[in-house]
Chain A
Amino acid sequence: MSTLVLTPERLAPEPLHAPRRSLAGYLAMPAILALVCLGLYLYVTAQQLDSIESRALTATALGTAVWQHLQLTAVSTVITLAIAVPLGVLLTRPFARRLRPYLLTLLTLAQAVPTIAVLVLLAVAFLFLGFQAAVVGLVLYAIIPVLLNTMVGLEQVDESVLEAGRGMGMSAFGVLRHLELPLSVPIILAGVRTALVINVGTATLTTYINAGGLGDVIVAGLSTNRVLVQVVGAVLTAVLALLIDYLAGLAEDFLRPTGL
């Protein structure tokens, strides 16, 4: 019999020290997600499952898919940030200023390249499949929005603050370290959230290059023509993505420097 053990009630937010939204605002999303999971669980257990369905919907199968999905998301997000944030800092230094308009146009246009195309190209052109290929594909795709975010964010730092820093005799590195980066923490946190949301979404597609994840459940449902399996996979994917976005939003609210 199928069991869904993935309800997020336990991940309800901890007591709030410095609420920036109302308590109800913080609790709405976990409550909705818990209700969706509960509804899905009750619906599935009320169905008469055939052998294909009950095999696809065991707790072990779903647990493995979620775990793979989380691994893909976590690894690719860390690598994305490790590349995109320093690159964003580099590309906003004065020497790169003339390139900026071209670079922004190019990066904006590159966002149109379909994720699925990046993943499939790795598979068909280099016969590169599996977890590592998926991470490469996810990182390639997520770098662009995070890089754009970082560049635009760093440039929004008030020029007069930087001028004051230089006037006080700070070096270029000192200005970056003590003024620009702390003032950009909210932007970097927004970048983390963006990367997480993009990667958790794209990780659904890595099933097509044999890297697992919740896409496996959906594709299993598609290939065996079992709507119930497809719906379970899709709902779990959506719940996981919304949950991760919610948690990243909490982090954004609470890690922001208090002076801002």
Chain B
Amino acid sequence: MDFVEFLINRGDDMLELGLEHAAVVGASVLLATIIGVGLGVASYRQPRSREAILAVTGAFLTIPSFALFILLIGPLGLGFLPVVVALTLYGLLPIVRNTITGLREVDPAIVEAALGMGMSRGQVLRQIELPLAWPVIITGVRVTTLVLLGIAAIGSIVLGPGYGDLIFTGLARVGTPVAVNLVLAGTLGVVVLAVLFDVLFYVIRKLTTSEGIR
């Protein structure tokens, strides 16, 4: 069967799996951003906790995804949940690292001036430091999203949602004509999602970056 014909025939499947894939990655990125920025903000001023947090989140990223998915079956079972937890753990490092880098790159003279004007630490953080660090933070979120889109496909091993399903079904039918189409369709789906997410982040970055540093 022709690949294009295959895609048209499976159009509804492709759309449904795409929505699932985007949902599981979107939820994980959101969680990783909340936790990651929180950890970054909490630790960027203390070298010790900063090093510790970077070491631990780095270790998460080092654990092969296949192994982590399997280890999470025990406590979390199969399906959506272990995939979201695994992806969130994987997503932390780039976000924490960029948050810390972004916050540390803020010119100390600006912070000094703000404190001199009588702003509290919290105000300085919310009104000065985070807005200035934001472009760096959102770049971390973007990189995380692209990496997680790929890893999410492996989540199919624990019956997770998304395009991994097509890839593993293709693998199971190796040797049949439909196998190549299945795998190609799964791969294409992930790449299309990657482009869409990238465009989304470009727009978000434009809209949320404070006017003075655009």
Contact = CB atoms under 8 A, between A and B. Distances in A.
Contacts of B198: 105, 108-109
A125 B183 contact: yes
A124 B67 CA distance: 24
A23 to B, nearest CB: 15
Contacts, number: 131
Nearest to A209: B171
A200 B64 contact: yes
Contact of A113 (B61, B168, B170, B190): B190
Given A112-B193, A124-B180, A204 B171 contact: no
A115 B150 contact: yes
In terms of DSSP, what is the predominant structure of the interface of chain B? Answer: helix
A233 interface: yes
Among A114, A115, A123, A201: residue with most chain B CB under 10 A: A114
A215 B66 CA distance: 8
A242 B62 CA distance: 6
Contact of A231 (B71, B170, B184): B71
Interface stretch (B10-18, B106-114, B141-149): B141-149
A124 B66 contact: no
A51 B157 CA distance: 25
A193 to B, nearest CB: 10
B164 A116 contact: yes
Contacts of B62: 197, 201, 241-242, 245
Interface in A25-51: none
A56 B64 CA distance: 21
A233 B67 contact: yes
Nearest to A21: B51
A237 interface: yes
**Size bracket, chain A contacts:** 35 or more
A208 interface: yes
A150 interface: no
Interface residues of B, number: 46
Contacts of A91: none
Interface in B136-195: 143, 146-147, 149-154, 157, 163-164, 167-168, 170-171, 173-175, 179-180, 182-184, 186-187, 190-191, 193-195
Given A108-B143, A109-B146, A127-B175, A238 B63 contact: yes
A251 B167 CA distance: 37
A245 B64 CA distance: 12
A179 interface: no
A121 B64 contact: no
B64 A237 contact: yes
Most chain A beta carbons < 10 A, residue from B67, B154, B173, B191: B67
A215 B153 CA distance: 16
Given A114-B151, A123-B174, A201-B64, A108 B146 contact: yes
B209 interface: no
B170 A238 contact: no
Nearest to B171: A120
Interface in A225-239: 227, 230-231, 233-235, 237-238
B119 interface: no
A204 B68 CA distance: 11
11 contacts: A113-B190, A114-B151, A114-B190, A117-B190, A124-B170, A124-B174, A127-B175, A201-B65, A230-B73, A238-B68, A245-B58
Interface of B: 58-59, 61-68, 70-71, 73-74, 143, 146-147, 149-154, 157, 163-164, 167-168, 170-171, 173-175, 179-180, 182-184, 186-187, 190-191, 193-195, 198
Going nearest first, the 5 A-B pairs with the smallest beta carbon separation are A112-B194, A114-B153, A201-B64, A234-B67, A237-B67
